[in-house]
Amino acid sequence: MTDLSRRLLLAATGGLALSATTSFGPARAAPKRGGTLRISVDQAVAKLNPLLTRVNPEYLVAELLYSALTRLKVDMTPEPDLAESWTSSPDLSEWTFVLRKGVVFHDGSPCTAADVVATFTAILDPKTASPARQYIGPVAKVVAKDESTVVFTLSSPYADLPVMLANTCAKIVPAAIVSAGLARLDREAVGTGPFKLVSFEPERLIVVARNDAYYDKERPYLNRVEVAVYPDPTAEGSALIAGGSDLMLSVQPTEYARLEKASGVQALRVPSGQFCNVNMGCDQKPFNDVRVRQALALTVDRPAMVDLVAEGYGTPGNDTPLNPAYHFYTELPLKKPDIARAKALLAEAGYAGGLTATLIASDRPATRTQLGVALREMAKPAGFTINVETMPHATYLDQVWKKGPFYVGFYNMQPTADAIFRLLYTSNAAWNETRWNDAAFDKLVGDARAVIDEGKRRELYAEAQRLMNKDVPSIIPVFFDLLAAQRKWVEGYTLHPRGAVFRIDQVSLGDGAQRRG
Amino acid sequence: MNVLEVRGYSLDYATATGFVRALDSIDLAIARGEVLGLVGESGSGKTSLAWAIMRHLPPRAREQGSISLAGQSPMTATEAEIAAIRGRRIGMVFQDPSTSLNPTLTLGQQLAEVLQRHRKLTRRQAWAEGEAMMARVGLKQPANMMRRYPHEASGGEKQRVVIASAFACQPECILFDEPTTALDVVTARQILDLFAELQAETSVASLYISHDLALVSRVADHVAVLHRGKLVEQGEVDAVFDAPREDYTRRLLAAVPRPDHRLVSGKPAAGIEPLVEVERLSVHYGRTPFLSALVGRRTAQVAGNREVSLSVRPGEILGIVGESGSGKSTLARALTGLNRFEGAVRFGGRRIAGRRDMDRAYRRDVQIVFQHPDSSLNPRQRVREILSRPLTLYGGEARIEALLEQVRLPATYVERFPHQLSGGEKQRVAIARAFASCPKLVICDEITSSLDVSVQAAVVELLVDLQRRNGTAYLFITHDLNLVRQLAHRIAVMYRGELVELLDIDDLSTTGPRHPYTRELLDAVPPPREYKS
Amino acid sequence: MAELLRRLLRTPQGLLGVLIVGLILVIVVCGPWLAPYGPDTLAPRLRYRPPSAEFLLGTDQYGRDILSRLLYGARSTVILACLATGLGTLAGALIGTTSAFLGGRADEAIMRTIDAILSIPSLLFALLIVNLLGKSSFSAVMAIGIAFTPGMTRVTRSVALAVTKQDYVNAAIARGERGGYIVLREMLPNVVAPIVVEMTIRVAFAVMLFATLSFLGLGAQPPSSEWGLMVAEARRFMHLSFWMILWPSLAVAMVAIGFNLLGDGLRDALNPRT
Amino acid sequence: MSPSYLVKRLALIVYTLFVVSLVVFAITQVLPADAAVMLLGENATPDALAAIRDKLGLDQPVWVQYGHWLWGVLQGDFGTSLRTGQPVAPVMLEALGRSLTLAVLAIALMLVLALPLGIIAALRRGKLADLVVSIVSYVGVSLPEFVTATLIVLVLADWLKLLPATGFVPLTENLWDGLAHLALPVLTVSVILVAHVSRMVRSELVDVLHTDYVRAARLKGLSRRSVLFHHALRNALLPTITIVALDVGYLLGGVIVVEEIFALPGIGRNLIVAIQARDLPSIQAGALIMAATYSVVNFLADLAYAWIDKRIQYG
């Protein structure tokens, strides 16, 4: 924790310094009301249905229109949203959430426990195919104790449930719609969020307006928010500089320097657990041999990677998915390139003559290919011949992802260590990309879930990290800082390390703001 | 007082290899009401002279001597002045009305614009005047003709319009550049009559350029013979024709085909089984193909053949005459399997009812020679390959050199490409190709019409010789009556796709033609005047 | 041939075109030997360098020497473009000539269909095909080749149609030659000239189409130094180093201009009127 | 202009669309990547996939699917987007509208610039003016759109800050703002068009100036000007009509890039997105609409052609 806040102070932008300790959002003079904020995003908002959102722009819109039970603070701890408070049974296998009273959906109907239950039933139904299904933990069943109390029964103890319920896809929707068919939510939005949907053009512009019936009487300050889609990053940056937009949700490392220099623009940056890695299929040759994986890991010059892949806006990775942005990060000596050692390991593994492999990288985002190309060159001296093959994201998902023996992955930060481990590395992981299937590791992660004691958990996770660092199921050479930019007149926006939390309801427009709408 | 006077005029064109002389110290003069016929073969410099007089020369031209129009010299005039002279004081009639008229403007517009430009008439006046002119040049319904577009008028009508606009401003002098060459015999005749009429009436000074001696002898008072840029002979028509001084002139005159002067002796044995019998052969160019309709180009409505029946005896020369579009070539194409046809062809006892039946033997025995040697010889093939094909196809034992020798070309030509040969030589190669398979029948489709008189004479002579040696029968298609009367045994006259008359050459002179069209045709081209050789 | 070359060099476009294309070919042939550095040697500490004595054209996001990359890249760029064009031309020439020779209904059916396919914009067509074949230089070549085919067919056919009207084809038919001979020996040689012109110009388009495909992430793939890809990649770093995008853009433009000029020069040289 | 011709011509358009639909459908069917997977993305579970496939009829034989699709199209139903769940047709038509706005403006600008340039070049053939014009046009045709676009954005938007870099505002919403946003894309597109067409005009005019009837006109004593404007130009411009019509094809497809860079949600960009997402209904509808527009425009061009050049009477 302390470690994180120090790092945040270093990269302090906006009100971040305070935010870490006190409640989310900066303390500032009473914010101005009204005005229209234009946010630019780099991808279309294809999915309006909050249970099915997949990418940041969709998360943003969902967050504007809907509320979840809890939401993540910048330190990755949960704070109340629709749920006022929560308690758990001593064994962590049953959680009770008490809902806010008098909350209404955009259509005026009250939001009660029934809606919460209906929502989670829908989420847990595989036919819905909601991403949340794998994220919210071992939820066995959800029942309404009364109008405003919901009880989650888990199949196994789980300490992180309140955090996980803040999941981007766990937004509460009306029971009526769930029973009538979720398809309706593809076109319209009926939520309890701070804003109401005005117009929806997936490829171009999404407009929302203040929801006067929002449960928080203070917020939102803005009357209107426009989410504009800019497929081309350069153009998006130019738009911000020209005052065409107020807030650029995410900035490519290559654009950052330019935006930093631009007048009237404030560049935002926060370290995060977002990383790019090289997945190796541990269940097949050649990567089933731990020495091969270690050898490859030893060829990587990690600080150089930070420059090459993240333009320096990042931190070197150490082959574990945790970095200082995570609560349970444990510092280990950073691996240094050691070609001689790598050669030796390869030889032991029986590849004295060198090893050839094809590294597949999806074309989105471009950093995947960048990592591949850099690795290719770094690994050469050690006798690796790596052919980088870029393919369309669609083809990648269909043919390589979760199947391929050797490909580049890219992940947002997860709220907890447990989440990221169980998403990618345990044998029962939702996306078991490396098929590492290490019993010891599974046990460590499993045990950690059921422990409340901070120190004990930290110990378990530390061990897990050491294990990964040694066995290298995947090479994690670099973590990205999250980058964004805003006009100076935008007040109260904080860049959240999770990358999927935005809190536009706290944003207001200062003096000199562009008049819009 | 001469209207047009050219004195010691020489013209050179600058080329990469220095200057090339196009005209060499030309002297000629045309007085009011006089017609000077300028005769010369292609490349003799006729047209260059016309351009020079019209002051339409490329920048790379270099001139000496003088040209004067009624005393003033246009050579020193500015562009504006020249523009004022052209069409106003000196008009011009071009060879091909179909290309010299703007396809996207009505005939009326193109006539009226001259009047507006030179006689400063208002649009309306010009239009009225234009109609009058149209009527004057003998166009029926002038008003309607004014509104037509070139493609909606016949060649004759178009040429009349061109003539009308040449005479429009009563110029002092008019240049006629082969005004009838692109037209049918009969139409040509009418145009000539019109010319004579207007000439007499306006007594304009005319320079009549042509390659056709016979024709010039009829229209001109004076004649000038141009050869390789030099005027070899000039004088009264009678004088030149009766007593040509230069032997080039003599050769030209000798080359002019004369019906009474037969080239073939005797006639094929009658009674014997004919070589080819064409039985009620019809060809339809009915529907315009869907495709061309879509692309918007309507294929010109060519008359096909309607139930044509005729026969050719072995060794006989059957001449086929008729205006363009009368179906002459259609017949030829049908006989060589280039058109599908109805009816039948009986050849060597076999009945051929369609292209399918034309087997190798038939194709070997029936060969065709086309009008334009440039298009009938593949420009990318050497003479060797061109001639070797029929040999490989029909397995004739003849050698290529022999074939060339047969058409009196040096054996060294085998390695040449067509573009390295002259027009006459090309046609000879085409002929050699046709004879390679020792055919029984050779169809000659206007094979001389694209050649100069002298060359034409030589080619004809070659054909006659070949016929004498190999006893080959010819289907000799031409529009030149005098020529066909020189060498055909029988003449078939075609009109609008039908065979209107088929008469023996002797009957032509004795009993004379029966069908009115045949008569019209004969009247159109009276035999050229005799001259003492 | 020598004659043609002389006529070619006489026109300014021809001369310039020959010079540029000649230069390009030189680079294609011996680029790698001229290159001062390897095309993909990383230099993490020498990134985004402006032109200097050390790196004549500067370095890119990996600290690679741009000049060397251009010199190496010439091969893939030009050769691929020519390959694609050649492919399209070959297919087009065959279909077009045959169609024109067959004439009538067959010709119509073929051309209608070709037109139909022509109504799909070639870039879109290429996109679909690349997505189909998976992205790689090879499939880009195929895509562009196929995308060019209908157009080339049209061109060829119109030329061939003019040729079929020629009497030497009639003569061949009257002789009873076989279709194959007529198409290959009598027609094709005469159809070639205009096609060569069209082809040269299309090489220019091919180069640009490649670049565009790469820009859309569907052409050549990193770390290839295909010029179009270099431009496409450089776009993202435009604001960090202007040189990165400048040089390959110029290179692409140069190739395109060169072939355009050459094409027009050829047209004039082959055109009797001028 | 016989009615039978019109009928034929329309029949032809229908045939065209049929072929296009076949080709596109064939291609999309074999595109690597499963529409269902695309639909559910990373979170697809086998049973969910099965459900979707069943819903979309993806497991039926191809020709059956095509039949369904075609039948739907005949009833004006292009299906709903796999990506957004929105009905395809309206979205695509709206996009088409935007693309056409771009196209029309670009063509207008092009005509204003290209014709004079071409004419000057032709008249001053081989002179300096000709050289300048042709150099300009050579550069124009030789720069890929995305390069021109990038440079234009860099200069006009980033450095001079004259115009908005990107984004799209419907003209109906705010005419001036809309035009301002369209300015750069239109500029980019017309650079290429101007280059292309001015060369076209030049060469055509040069040819026409060599024809007999132009010479004849000169020899009738008409002034240079009236020969040029009255005789030469109309004939020279005829083919240009066709070229412009053909360029509409390019405009619709080729501007994909331009639309991508300028975030102009035209049909081109919709198609790219659709292709990337394997959104089959959108791909088919988009391709079909493009082909249709293209055919119709060319049809109109032919009519215009026939109207000007009286030689052509379509039978």
pLDDT band for position B11 (cuts 50, 70, 90): very high
Q: Which of D37, D41, D157 sits opposite A238 (nearest CB)?
A: D157
Residue B267 clears pLDDT 80, i.e. is over it: no
Which domain CATH number covers C23? 1.10.3720.10
What backbone phi and psi angles, to 5 degrees, belong to B10?
A: -125, 145
B166 plus B302 within the same structural domain: no
Work out how many domains chain C is built from and give that number.
1
Q: What is the pLDDT of residue A470?
A: 94
B289 plus B232 within the same structural domain: no
Give the whole-angstrom CA distance, residue B244 versus residue B261: 20
B325 plus B199 within the same structural domain: no
Q: What is the pLDDT of residue B162?
A: 93
Q: What is the pLDDT of residue D167?
A: 63
Is B243 within 8 Å of chain C by CB? no
pLDDT digits over B63-72, tens only? Answer: 999 998 888 8
Give the whole-angstrom CA distance, residue B524 versus residue D192: 59
Q: Give CA angle at A503 (A502, A504), nearest 5°.
A: 95
Range in A19-23, A322-326, C162-166, D1-5 with the lowest mean pLDDT:
A19-23
Residue A287 clears pLDDT 80, i.e. is over it: yes
Residue B299 clears pLDDT 50, i.e. is over it: no
Residue C4 inside a domain? The answer is no
Residue A446 clears pLDDT 50, i.e. is over it: yes
Of B223, B255, B287, the last residue of a domain is B255
pLDDT band for position A27 (cuts 50, 70, 90): low
Which chains does D contact via 3+ CB–CB distances below 8 A? A, B, C
Q: Which of D15, D268, D298 sits opposite C112 (nearest CB)?
A: D15
Inspect the interface and report whether the beta carbons of B337 and C104 lie closer than 8 Å: no
Most D CBs within 10 Å, among B100, B117, B118, B177, to test the D interface: B100
Inspect the interface and report whether the beta carbons of A234 and C134 lie closer than 8 Å: no
Residue in D with minimal Cα distance to C239: D154
CB contacts < 8 Å between A and D, how many? Answer: 115
Inspect the interface and report whether the beta carbons of B368 and C171 lie closer than 8 Å: yes
Inspect the interface and report whether the beta carbons of C253 and D150 lie closer than 8 Å: no
Contact residues, C window 104-163, toward A, CB-based 8 Å cutoff = 131, 134-136
Residue C127 tokens read as 């996109």
CB contacts < 8 Å between B and D, how many? Answer: 94
Distance from CA of B84 to the nearest CA of D (A): 6
For residues B364-381, give the mean pLDDT: 88
Distance of CA C42 to the CA centre of its chain: 31
**Strands, E, within A133-264: which ranges?**
139-146, 149-154, 195-201, 205-210, 224-229, 247-248
Residue B289 clears pLDDT 70, i.e. is over it: no
**Measuring CA to CA, which residue among D124, D290, D257 is closest to residue D191?**
D257
Contact residues, C window 179-208, toward B, CB-based 8 Å cutoff = 185-186, 189-190
Q: Which of D15, D138, D298 sits opposite C261 (nearest CB)?
A: D138
Residue D199 clears pLDDT 60, i.e. is over it: yes
pLDDT digits over B491-513, tens only? Answer: 999 988 889 988 888 887 777 77
Range in A79-88, A248-257, D53-62, D237-246 with the lowest mean pLDDT:
D53-62
Q: Which of C44, C62, C240 sits opposite A373 (nearest CB)?
A: C62
Q: What is the pLDDT of residue A105?
A: 96
**Helix-strand-coil split of chain A, %, nearest 5:** 30, 25, 45
pTM: predicted TM-score of the whole model, two decimal places = 0.77
pLDDT digits over A343-361, tens only? Answer: 999 999 999 999 999 999 9
Share of chain B above pLDDT 70, in %: 95
Is D28 within 8 Å of chain C by CB? yes
Q: What is the domain range of residue C93?
A: 11-28+58-270
CA torsion A67→A68→A74→A79, rounded to 10°?
A: 110
Inspect the interface and report whether the beta carbons of C119 and D291 lie closer than 8 Å: yes
Of B255, B290, B310, the last residue of a domain is B255
Which domain CATH number covers B204? 3.40.50.300
B367 plus B507 within the same structural domain: yes
Which chains does C contact via 3+ CB–CB distances below 8 A? A, B, D
Q: What is the pLDDT of residue B522?
A: 84
Distance from CA of C168 to the nearest CA of B (A): 4
Q: What is the pLDDT of residue A195?
A: 96
Q: What is the pLDDT of residue A517?
A: 63
pLDDT digits over A174-193, tens only? Answer: 999 999 988 889 889 999 99
- DSSP reduced 3-state for B67: strand
Inspect the interface and report whether the beta carbons of D212 and B102 lie closer than 8 Å: no
Mean of the per-residue pLDDT values of chain A: 88
Work out how many domains chain B is built from and give that number.
2
Question: B276-283 and B305-312: which strand pairing?
Answer: antiparallel
Residue C71 inside a domain? The answer is yes
Q: What is the domain range of residue B66?
A: 2-94+156-255
Distance from CA of A417 to the nearest CA of D (A): 20
B302 plus B375 within the same structural domain: yes
Q: Cα–Cα distances in Å, from C146 out to A299, A348, C200, D250, D257?
A: 43, 49, 17, 17, 20
Residue in B with minimal Cα distance to C171: B376
Query: Higher confidence at residue A40 or residue B453?
Result: A40
pLDDT digits over A133-157, tens only? Answer: 878 888 999 999 999 999 999 999 9
Give the whole-angstrom CA distance, residue A373 versus residue A389: 10
Inspect the interface and report whether the beta carbons of D33 and A398 lie closer than 8 Å: yes
Q: What is the pLDDT of residue C46?
A: 84
In this prediction the ipTM stands at 0.73
For residues C225-239, give the mean pLDDT: 84
Helix axis angle for C188-215 and C80-102, nearest 10°, is 140
Q: Cα–Cα distances in Å, from D306 out to A304, C155, D243?
A: 67, 22, 15
**Measuring CA to CA, which residue among A362, A73, A168 is closest to residue D43?**
A168
Q: A314-318, B213-217, C30-34: which has the highest mean pLDDT? A: A314-318
Cis peptide before C223 (omega within 30 of 0): yes
Q: Give CA angle at A363 (A362, A365), nearest 5°.
A: 100
Residue C266 inside a domain? The answer is yes
Residue B429 inside a domain? The answer is yes
Q: What is the pLDDT of residue D11?
A: 86
Inspect the interface and report whether the beta carbons of D16 and C212 lie closer than 8 Å: no
Contact residues, C window 70-129, toward B, CB-based 8 Å cutoff = 104, 107-108, 111
pLDDT digits over C51-80, tens only? Answer: 998 888 999 888 899 999 999 999 888 898
Residue in D with minimal Cα distance to B85: D221
Specify whether domain D98-268+295-308 bears CATH 1.20.1070.10: no
B238 plus B290 within the same structural domain: no
Spatial neighbors of C271 by CB under 8 A, at least 6 apart, are none
Share of chain B above pLDDT 90, in %: 27
Q: What is the pLDDT of residue A8?
A: 37
pLDDT digits over B77-123, tens only? Answer: 888 888 888 888 999 998 888 889 988 889 999 999 999 988 888 99
